[in-house]
Structure 1
Amino acid sequence: MEQHEIREYFDQHSIQKVKFAFADIDGVLRGKVISRRKFEAGLKSGYGFCNVVFGWDSADNPYDEVKLTGWHSGYPDTPTRIDLSTFRRIPWEDNLPFFIADFSHEDGNDLVACPRSLLKRIARQSEEMGFRAEIAQEFEWFNFRETPQSLHEKDFRNPEPLTPGMFGYSILRPSLETAFYHDLFDLLTEFDVPLEGLHTETGPGVYEAAIHHDEVVRAADKATLFKTAVKEIAYKHGIMATFMAKWNADLPGCSGHIHQSLWTPDGSKNLFYDPGQPDNMSELFRQYLAGQLYCLPHILPMLAPTVNSYKRLVEGAWAPTTVTWSVDNRTTALRVLNHAEAYTRLEQRVSGSDTNPYLAIAASLASGLYGIRHRLTLDIPATVGNGYANKTNGVIPANLWEATRVMKQSPVAAELFGEGFVDHFTQTREWEWRQYARQVSDWELRRYFEII
């Protein structure tokens, strides 16, 4: 919508307040409700927002070494701008108007830590190369009969799953929670996050949803909003949803696979599809895939950003552990789907549901474009059979610390995202690892308390 259309809508519906939010470095939405008067006053100059939101972690603990902000800077305000094209209404909040914001500026002096600004820059690179990037992210998540209060009182132990047992693709299980199940599908569609499909996955209380594909920035907006929207809709039904990559060692993890393709600017032709080439893969597609394989070790923390991410990336758990690709094989890091032009795409299977969609999608697109720019050849053969056993091209690092050390020192990462972003992001990941390393786990208590 244009400004005048939004004002007309507000007048017609007597709108006096709006909500806006942006994603922090972890993909957590931070924002506020503001008056219509403040909203209109800031459309040109922006809105001041304390930059501590890029100076603390997901638990609001200040980072100790990031340069962007901190006690040394006094945590000043930084201008954030609302993107009017993201206007939508929140159907479970009486259709309250909602907008996405970011820290992009007309002069190009974007805040280096802003994930959406980074993705917008990568999207412009794609457009300048003559491509329209179409992206879709899908998510798995667990649902529990809990509230934030009940879960804290239980110290996060033994949460009650929404439904028992392992029952993937079940038609029966969702019938137990018809109101919640259909609210997810219908309210998300009303919220302009339309789903392609929704079903149970294997595991107690697990759902999976695929979001309809869209232009890259809009796709990332929808993926980011999806996670918070699901949690809010779940709250309305007395349910808690978690997007942890692996909440229980004995159960499957939760993926956040990213489907990607490049099209002509008008969207009329899929540039990945060439029926005259092996596997229907165009040369452009092969270069894009080669770029993702080459860059994967350099960008991994953007696809697996938490300590918990790496608990999912283990053999035999429906998540990849090797730097591999295949044609329609779910044991590899990258999976080619190629049976028709309309559906030919690359599925990146490393990322879990705990990703920041802006960063995971930016990393995927940037690495693919890297392969095209550098005309990389796809000299790694497709994996046939068990991808876990194919270690010829390397394995995925075992933890966040190892992955972050590689990215921090990588000239490839600096080329893709800029030194400022890489420095800030890797500092935040090192902080995350240090917080984890200081803790004493239940496993350690059970193993060592009496015996050692």
Structure 2
Amino acid sequence: MTKDQLLAYIKDNNITKIKFAFADIDGALRGKTISVQKFLDGLQDGYGFCDVVFGWDVNDAAYDNVKITGWHSGYPDKDCRIDLTTKRNIPWQDNIPFFLADFSKADGNDLAACPRSLLKRIVKQCNDMGYHAEFAQEFEWFNFLETPHSLEQKEYKHLQPLTPGMFGYSILRTSQQNAFYNDLFDLLTQFDIPIEGLHTETGPGVYEAAIVHDETLRAADKAVLFKTAVKEIASKHGITATFMAKWNADLPGCSGHVHQSLWDKDKKNNLFYNAADEHNMSDLLKHYLAGQLYCLPHLLPMYAPTINSYKRLVEGAWAPTTITWGFDNRTTAIRILNDSEKYTRSEMRIPGSDTNPYLAIAASLASGLYGIKHKLELTMPATKGNGYQDLRNGRLHSNLYNAAIAMQNSEVAKELLGEGFVDHFTNTRIWEHRQHAKAVTDWELKRYFEAI
């Protein structure tokens, strides 16, 4: 939608307010509703937004270890710019117009902490190399018959799931929640997040959705919006949705797998596919895959950004623990699907549903392009069978602190993402570790309170 078309739309539809948002470092949407005049006034030069949104954590506690903003800078406003191409209406909020924004600048001097701005830079690199990238993220999440107030009152214990028992791919369970289930599919589609498939997964009240693939930035936008949209739609039905990677030790975790492929500029030929190859893999795919495997230890916090992420990355939990790849193998870090040219793709299986899609997708694309630029050879054979036992290329870091320190010290990470981003992001992850380290958990109370 051009600016002139937008002006005509606002006038013809008597629009009085606009809603916009951007993703913070954790992928949570931060934004506001503004008047039409405020919206129009900021289209050229942007909107001042307090940069504390990149200076505090997911619970609004101010970081004490980041340089971009803080008490030392006085938390000034930074220019936030709305992307008019992201316009959509929110069907469950009286069709109020909605836009996504970021902190990009025309001169390229973007705010280093902005995840969407980072991804835009990497997409440009991909385009400049002559490739068109397609991405899609899929999510699993748990649904509860709870409200924010009841969660707090219950101290997040003894929660009532939407449905009981383990019943993956159940037609019965979705029929029993028909209004919510259909609202998810229909309202998300109306919100320009078309769903390829929606079903129950194994676990009480757990759903899985696959979003239709799109060009990289639009795919990431849709993935970011998906999580908040699901929560808002669920709330209208008296349901709370959680995208924690592992909310319960005794139940499966929630994935956020990232599917990806490279095409020619005309989007006609899948450059990952080569029918003449024994495994239908092009040399480009082999370089791309080699790059991702090589960069994994350097970028792991981009795929596993929270303390909780690593509770999912354990053996036998349908999530990888080793630096591996395989053909249609769900025990490896990267799964290659290549039965036909149209659907040949790489699936990064490390991300959980707690990821920031901009960062998970940025890491996937940047590391794949790294392999292409450096013509890295795919020397590691595909894993056959149990990927948990394939230690030829080592294990993934088992906790956020070690992963963050490795990324902070990585010259590869700085080359791919920029020193400013790496410094800010890794310090926020180290902060997250520090908050966890000083917490006294239920496990500790039960184990030590009386016996020690």
TM (normalized to structure 2)? 1.00
Where 1:93 maps in the other structure, the secondary structure is coil
Q: Residue type matched to 1:20 in 2?
A: F
**1:142 maps to what in 2?**
142
2:228 and 2:205 map into 1 onto residues whose CA distance is: 18
Q: Deviations over 1:278-312 (max 9, x none)?
A: 21000000000000000000000000000000000
2:278 and 2:294 map into 1 onto residues whose CA distance is: 21
**1:277 maps to what in 2?**
277
CA positional deviation for 1:70? 0.5
**1:218 maps to what in 2?**
218
**2:174 maps to what in 1?**
174
2:356 and 2:110 map into 1 onto residues whose CA distance is: 18
**1:422 maps to what in 2?**
422
**1:348 maps to what in 2?**
348
**2:328 maps to what in 1?**
328
1:420 and 1:73 map into 2 onto residues whose CA distance is: 16
Where 1:141 maps in the other structure, the secondary structure is strand
**1:406 maps to what in 2?**
406
Q: Deviations over 1:365-415 (max 9, x none)?
A: 000000000000000010000001101110011100010010000000000
CA positional deviation for 1:9? 1.0
CA positional deviation for 1:144? 0.1
CA positional deviation for 1:115? 0.1
Instruction: Find out whether 1:235 has 2:212 as its counterpart.
Output: no
**2:15 maps to what in 1?**
15
The equivalences for 1:370-389 within 5 A come to 370-389=370-389
1:205 and 1:450 map into 2 onto residues whose CA distance is: 35
Where 1:81 maps in the other structure, the secondary structure is strand
1:69 and 1:406 map into 2 onto residues whose CA distance is: 23
Where 2:323 maps in the other structure, the secondary structure is coil
The equivalences for 1:249-260 within 5 A come to 249-260=249-260
**1:95 maps to what in 2?**
95
1:234 and 1:42 map into 2 onto residues whose CA distance is: 33
Where 1:135 maps in the other structure, the secondary structure is strand
Where 1:231 maps in the other structure, the secondary structure is helix
The equivalences for 1:15-414 within 5 A come to 15-414=15-414
Q: Residue type matched to 1:90 in 2?
A: I
Where 1:44 maps in the other structure, the secondary structure is coil
Where 1:45 maps in the other structure, the secondary structure is coil
2:171 and 2:120 map into 1 onto residues whose CA distance is: 39
2:261 and 2:178 map into 1 onto residues whose CA distance is: 34
Where 1:69 maps in the other structure, the secondary structure is coil
2:199 and 2:93 map into 1 onto residues whose CA distance is: 25
Gap regions ≥5 residues in structure 1: none
Where 2:424 maps in the other structure, the secondary structure is helix
**2:441 maps to what in 1?**
441
1:340 and 1:10 map into 2 onto residues whose CA distance is: 45
Q: Residue type matched to 1:313 in 2?
A: L
CA positional deviation for 1:24? 0.2
**Identity across the alignment (%):** 70
Q: Residue type matched to 2:79 in 1?
A: P
Q: Deviations over 1:41-77 (max 9, x none)?
A: 0000100000000000000000001000111111000
2:40 and 2:427 map into 1 onto residues whose CA distance is: 36
Q: Deviations over 1:211-233 (max 9, x none)?
A: 00000000000000000000000
Gap regions ≥5 residues in structure 2: none
1:414 and 1:71 map into 2 onto residues whose CA distance is: 26
Q: Deviations over 1:104-138 (max 9, x none)?
A: 01011100000000000000000000000000000
Where 1:222 maps in the other structure, the secondary structure is helix
2:229 and 2:381 map into 1 onto residues whose CA distance is: 40
Structure 1's consecutive aligned runs of 4 or more residues displaced over 6 angstroms after TM superposition are none
1:65 and 1:406 map into 2 onto residues whose CA distance is: 17
Alignment: residue pair count = 452
